[in-house]
Structures are given as structure tokens and as C-alpha cells.
Amino acid sequence: MREAAVHADHPHTPSKSERYARLRADVEALVAGEDDWLANLANVAAAVYAALPGLNWAGFYLMRGGALVVGPFQGLPACVRIEVGRGVCGAAAQERATHIVRDVHAFPGHIACDPRSRSEIVVPVIVDGVVVAVLDLDSDRLAHFDEEDRSGLEALVLDLTTAVDWDRARRV
């Protein structure tokens, strides 16, 4: 009883790694047994947005017909099409590597969808050697994303490579 009262007075603020562990477990439960890619990606975008503090946009761009096209997301309406090689999303897709941008205004070619965005992380989703999508997170805080975000999001994205029907998701 006494212990519970203490916890109630000082609620535990989860660490970043705790947040990512919980997020991965939540996502696993959300997509388990569901093969509708749209339902799954919509719920993943919502789960990410709800689980991580400091975000103003979180969601997917899907590789369709050779360009990235906006998919399920949370946040303000975003630019619909991004050519591979353009912006942070296009750079991550082209280089097949996670991009962490501490100051979007200093990134040449950054595509501003929400003027509040100050920093960004983009993780490519690679299935059978092919970039099928990117997961994009924006923050209104400068230098919000770090190596813990990289490893947490890369692990989440790796889970999604088998949990989501990417063949259907990419069909134009």
C-alpha cells in the first residue's frame, strides 16, 4: 500500500529504451493476426505518435512506381510525392540508411511539410534487399533524435518487414 502511494505521488517517467520496448510490444500485439497492410501501418503510425514525446509528425512514405508516396501518418497533411534522392526521406531511401537530421534548416533540400519541424529521423524499410517504404518522424525540438531513437526505430522497422504485407502495400 505504502509503496503504491509513493509511486502515485511520483509517477515513473519511462526512459527512452523503456518507451521503445513498450512500443515494440504494443505494435506486435496490434498487427498480430491481421494481414491488412493499411490497417497495420495506420495503427503503427498512431502507436509511434502516441508513444514518443516531442513528435509533430510520424508516418510512412511508400515506394510506389519509383517514388515515395505518403502513406498512413499522424500529424498535419504532408507533401504527397517525394522523388528518391530528394529531401531527407528521399536521401534515406536512396542511401538505404537511417538519416538523423539535428537541424532540418541546415539540411540541403529538406522538404518542409510542417513549419514547426526542427529535427527529423527517417528509417528505410528494406524487404528482400528492396526499399519498400520509409518511416519518418519529425519533432518541433532541435536535435531531438539520437542513437537510441535510431536503434529503437530500426528494431521496430525490422519487426515490420515480416509483420506487414509489403507486396500489397506497394501495389499502385
The residue ranges that bind ligand SME (CB under 6 A) are 57, 78-79, 82, 87-90, 110-111, 113, 117, 120, 136, 138
Residue 57 C-beta: closest distance to ligand SME, Å: 5
CA distance 158 to 23: 13
Nearest alpha carbon to residue 101 among 113, 116, 77, 117: 117
Instruction: Report, in Å, the least distance between residue 139 CB and ligand SME.
Output: 10
Q: Pick between residue 14 and residue 77 the one whose CB is nearest to ligand SME.
A: 77
Dist. CA 26–CA 23, nearest whole Å:
5
Q: Specify the residue, 11 or 66, whose C-beta has the smaller distance to ligand SME.
A: 66
In angstroms, the CA 7 to CA 10 distance is 5
End-to-end CA distance of the chain, in Å? 57
Nearer of residues 23 and 68 to ligand SME, judged by Cβ: 68
Task: State which residue has the least CB distance to ligand SME.
Answer: 87
Please state the closest distance from residue 110 (CB atom) to ligand SME, in A. Answer: 5
Residue with cell 501501418: 41
Q: Which is nearer to ligand SME, 52 or 113 (CB)?
A: 113
What is the smallest separation between the CB atom of 111 and ligand SME, expressed in angstroms? Answer: 4
Give the three-class secondary structure for 68: strand
SS3 category, 75? strand
